[in-house]
Amino acid sequence: MEHNNRLVVIELNDLEAMIERVVERKLREVLNQDNKSLGRDGKMSLKEVMAALDISKQCVYNWIKEGKLPQPARIGRRLYWSPDAIKAMMP
């Protein structure tokens, strides 16, 4: 088996983003294993919250700032909410 050894130059920001994606993926895997009974890690993503409440991304951020939505949990750059907190807000 032949190995092709090459020097790769990468910007620090790109490397940080790559590491963050790997850590997020691994963290989701761990959360999924620990919370299988709750479904996909037991939390709602930003897109799911937007769809459930029929609001825009900017509205979600405004509601967080105004205290209408609870502070989300963060995994890397992603935001997650408890489904119960979101269901309580539904008409």
Mean pLDDT by 10 residues, the chain (91 residues): 79 83 66 46 88 94 94 90 86 65
Report the length, in residues, of the chain. 91
Instruction: Report the pLDDT value the prediction gives residue 27, as an integer from 0 to 100.
Output: 60
Instruction: Report the pLDDT value the prediction gives residue 6, as an integer from 0 to 100.
Output: 85
Which domains are delineated in the chain? 12-89 (1.10.1660)
Instruction: Report the pLDDT value the prediction gives residue 34, as an integer from 0 to 100.
Output: 44
Instruction: Report the pLDDT value the prediction gives residue 4, as an integer from 0 to 100.
Output: 77
